[in-house]
Each structure stands twice: as structure tokens, then as C-alpha cells.
Amino acid sequence: MRERERYRIERDSLGEVRVPEEALYGAQTQRAVENFPLGDRALPPRFIHALGLIKAAAARANAALGRLEPERAAAIAEAAEAVARGEHDHHFPVSVFQTGSGTSSNMNANEVIASLAGRRLGGPVHPNDEVNRGQSSNDVIPTAIHLGAALALRQLLLPALAELAAGVERRAGELAGVVKTGRTHLMDALPLSLGQELGAWAQLVRADMARFEGIMPRLLLIAQGGTAVGTGLNAHPGFARQFAGELARATGLPFQPAADAFAAISSQDTAVELSGLLRVASTTLGKIAEDLRWMNSGPLAGLGEIRLPALQPGSSIMPGKVNPVIPEAVLMACIQVAGRDHAVALAGRSGNFQLNTMLPLIADNLLRSIELLAGAARLLAEKAIAGFTVDRERLEAALARNPILVTALNERLGYEQGAAIARRAYAEKRPVLDVAAEMTDIPRDELARLLDPGALTGTRVEKEKDE
């Protein structure tokens, strides 16, 4: 009795299946749940929401082309839009590690939407013949990858990177006149301003944003309409274009049918390209996080140039210790993105003949990397960049002892004499100005002008011009 209350019997072409009573899905989804007990990770919600948008657009396209009765199409579209809004995420239990075409997830969506539409209509809706009309998993899943990624870039990652770039630029402006010792090979080098250092970070982030904008036209080309192998069999001849128009209206993004459906179904090169761009962006965020961690090191025995906000105790045994937790969290996220990119690249090679058969893996890694990078960018902006303070006295003290300033005298003295001055300044731990005054006949006031760190960065000259 208890078992009858918990399960119902569903049927598909292979026979009967027991399905949880409360589940909106049917037999094919349940078979996938039982067949693929690989981990506990389902595809990300953004991918499920993309499937909902696709099914709604397909229903409306089929109705417009006379392939689906308007009332039934409306019920399917309304149900699909509820899926797209995330109202039924818990009814999508299929593992990422499933059939390589993603057929199980496509059927999961078809069955859930059919159940919901059937409730609206007061009678059965067929998941294959109606919800999936004019479609195949082979064009639905590649379209969902492009759609999910394009929306995630627009809604998550690009705004997060813009926030980070703006935050870095704001701090760069505030710190434009603060001069510090530059470092190459982690060793003392010529001076620069903190504004210049942070300005470089902002430029790197802006360049990443431009790369993502550059791939968007290729993401907006979709496989839908190619059905199983690219021929479009079982779809109306006008379905691809009608569908793209419906999807564009629903999302505000100008989706278009791919010029060659065979290529769009058999290859995931655009997804692989996007994954590579995510890896590039992860190196940018990682570089910023590493620089912040080094600049914050100490506070006594390290560089101690800045102080990151103290967010939590840093040790379970050492009282008073505070660690650079935000840069470390961001660095781990960046490493994760790099690892996922490798998985996507390997999966992208599995486009044997007419179909790539690693589509769920590509979708999962791509969308999760976008979400992770967006979170990392916001975390850096809000909890590291916005709140760090600068130890100006420490920066000035290090600058005064920096023998590399002697590089400014190369044209007057030559490299060899400059090296001798630098070696003596290092050995005696004295300011290079004092040593140069003793070892050259250049007047001290002229040396002070030539060795002025602010002048070497160009910031003094720019300030004088502005005034």
C-alpha cells in the first residue's frame, strides 16, 4: 500500500517503469536516473532554464507554422516558461554524466513540460510528438549550451567584470600620486605609481570583457532546426528561422540559425573557444589576486605595502593572525576554471562524424565556470579592491633605499658606473642619492632631480602639465 502511494507506473517504448508519485517527469527520465548513478551533480539550473526557453520558443514557432494547435502550443509554452523561471528545478535530477547527446536531459524537459501542460489542458500532452515537435536532442542541447552561455555572459560575467574594472579604476585614480618600488622577477625595479599598477589591472579586465563581446556573435548562431544530423528532417522548412525569431523576442538577444547546421551539431568549437576565454579571464583575476597577496604580505616580515580588510581570524593556533582570504579564494576559483577548460577542450574533440557526444559535460563546465568567475570578480571588487589601505611611509622608505633608481643616470654615467653605485648602495644599505653624490661630480641638487621617483614614473610631469 505504501509503495502504491509513493510510486506510479509510467510506460515508454521499452515497457513499464516505476516513477516517484510526486515527480513531474516520466519513464525516460526515471530510466536515466537509474542508469547513470554517477555522482550527485545534475546539470546547472541555468542550463535547465535554457531548455525551458527553447521549448517555449519551439511551441510558438510550431504554432505559427501550423504544426501545433494554438491552444496546445500556448499550454506548452506557458509550462516551458515556468521551467525557464526556475519554478521546477527539483524535477531535473539527471546526472551530468549521462548519454553524450544529452537526450536524457532533453526528455526530462519534454516530460516535465508535458505534465505541466497536460494539467492546464485537462488531458495528456505527448512529450515527444508535441513538446519535442520539430526537434532532436542533437540540436536542442547545442542550442541550450549557446543560449545558456550567452545569457550567463550578459547577466552575470560581463556586469561583474565591469564592476571590478570600475572599482580598480576608481582606486587607481585615488592612488595616482602614490609612488612605490616596482618589481620584476620579484626583485626591486624602477618605480611606478600605484595608480599605474592598478591601471594595468583594469586594462587587463577591460580586455577580457572585449574578448567576451567578440565571441558573442558566434554564440548567437544556433543549431536549432538541424534536428538529428543537420538535414532538418521532421522540422518545418521555416522552423529554424521562426524559432530563432521567437528566442530573440524572449531573450532580447539576436539569435540566428547557424549557416551550416551540420557543423553546428557535429562541433562544439564555439563552446571550446569560450572556455578558453574564461581561462584567460581566470589568469587576469589570478594575477590581480596574487599581486594583492604579495603586496599585503607581512605585515612585518613581508612587503607590507597595503593592508587588505581584516575579514576573519587567520589561524586556529596563532592569535592575531589575519590572512588574505579573498585573494586565496579567488585563486582557487581561477585554478578550478583552468581545470574545467581542459575538460571542455578534451570533450570538444569528441565530435565523431555528425554529433559531439560530450555535450552535458561541456554545458556543465562552461556554465559553472562563468558563474564562478563572475562571483570571483565581484568578490575581488567588493572585499579586496574597495577596502585596502596603503602604508605610504613604508613605500617611501623602500623607495629611498632603492639602488635601481640609478638607472636614471645611465645616459650621464653609463651602465658600468651606474652598476658600481648600485652595488655600493646595496652593500652599505645607504640611499643611492648619497652614494651617487660621493662617486660622481654631478651636483647633489641635480642628482636629487634626476633620481626623484615621482619624476621617473612620469606622474610629476603629468601633474605639472595638468596644473
| pLDDT tens by residue, the chain, 467 residues | 344 569 999 999 999 999 999 999 999 999 999 999 998 899 999 999 999 999 999 999 999 999 999 999 999 999 999 999 999 999 999 999 999 999 999 999 999 999 999 999 999 999 999 999 999 999 999 999 999 999 999 999 999 999 999 999 999 999 999 999 999 999 999 999 999 999 999 999 999 999 999 999 999 999 999 999 999 999 999 999 999 999 999 999 999 999 999 999 999 999 999 999 999 999 999 999 999 999 999 999 999 999 999 999 999 999 999 999 999 999 999 999 999 999 999 999 998 999 999 999 999 999 999 999 999 999 999 999 999 999 999 999 999 889 999 999 999 999 999 999 999 999 999 999 999 999 999 999 999 999 999 999 986 544 444 44
C-alpha to C-alpha distance for 138 and 117, rounded to whole angstroms: 24
CA–CA distances in Å: residue 197 to residues 61, 103, 146, 162, 438: 53, 50, 36, 18, 33
Nearest to 292 by CA among 423, 223, 384: 384
User: Domain coordinates of the chain in residue numbers?
Assistant: 23-133, 148-226+254-391, 403-454
Would you call 183 helix, strand, or coil by DSSP?
Answer: strand
Burial class for 233, CB neighbours closer than 10 Å (0-12, 13-18, 19+): exposed
Quote the pLDDT of residue 373.
98
315 is catalytic: yes
| Residues 213 and 150 sit within 8 Å (Cβ to Cβ) | no
End-to-end Cα spacing for the chain: 88
The owner of cell 562524424 is: 353
In this prediction, residue 458 carries a pLDDT of 85
Interatomic CA distance for residues 176 and 457, integer angstroms: 10
In the set 90, 95, 315, 350, the catalytic residue is: 315
Give the burial class of 286: count Cβ atoms within 10 A of its Cβ; 0-12 exposed, 13-18 middle, 19 or more buried: buried
Domain 148-226+254-391 matching CATH 3.40.50.720: the answer reads no
Active-site residue flag, 185: yes
From the number of C-beta atoms within 10 Å of its C-beta (0-12, 13-18, 19+), residue 277 rates as: middle
Q: Is 15 helix (H, G, I), strand (E, B) or coil?
A: strand
Torsions phi, psi of 395, nearest 5? -60, -45
Among residues 104, 115, 185, 297, the one annotated as catalytic is 185
Residue 464 has what pLDDT?
A: 45
- The two beta strands, 187-193 and 179-184, are antiparallel
Give CA–CA dist 3/18, Å, rounded.
Answer: 10
Residues that constitute the known binding site for substrate: 101-103, 126-129, 136-138, 184, 316, 321-323
Give the whole-angstrom CA distance, residue 240 versus residue 211: 28
Task: Indicate the pTM of the whole model.
Answer: 0.95
148-226+254-391 and 403-454, same CATH topology: no
Question: Three-state DSSP class for 32?
Answer: helix
Question: What contacts 63, CB < 8 A, 6 or more positions away?
Answer: 69, 70, 73, 74
Burial class (CB in 10 A: 0-12, 13-18, 19+), 462: middle
From CA 116, how far away is CA 111, in angstroms rounded?
Answer: 9
- Which residue positions form the known binding site? 101-103, 126-129, 136-138, 184, 316, 321-323
**Which three-class secondary structure state does DSSP give residue 131?**
helix
CATH classification for the domain delimited by 403-454, as one of 1.10.40.30, 3.40.309.10, 3.40.462.10, 3.30.830.10: 1.10.40.30
Question: Residue 108 is which amino acid?
Answer: N
- In the CATH scheme, what architecture does the domain 23-133 have? Orthogonal Bundle (1.10)
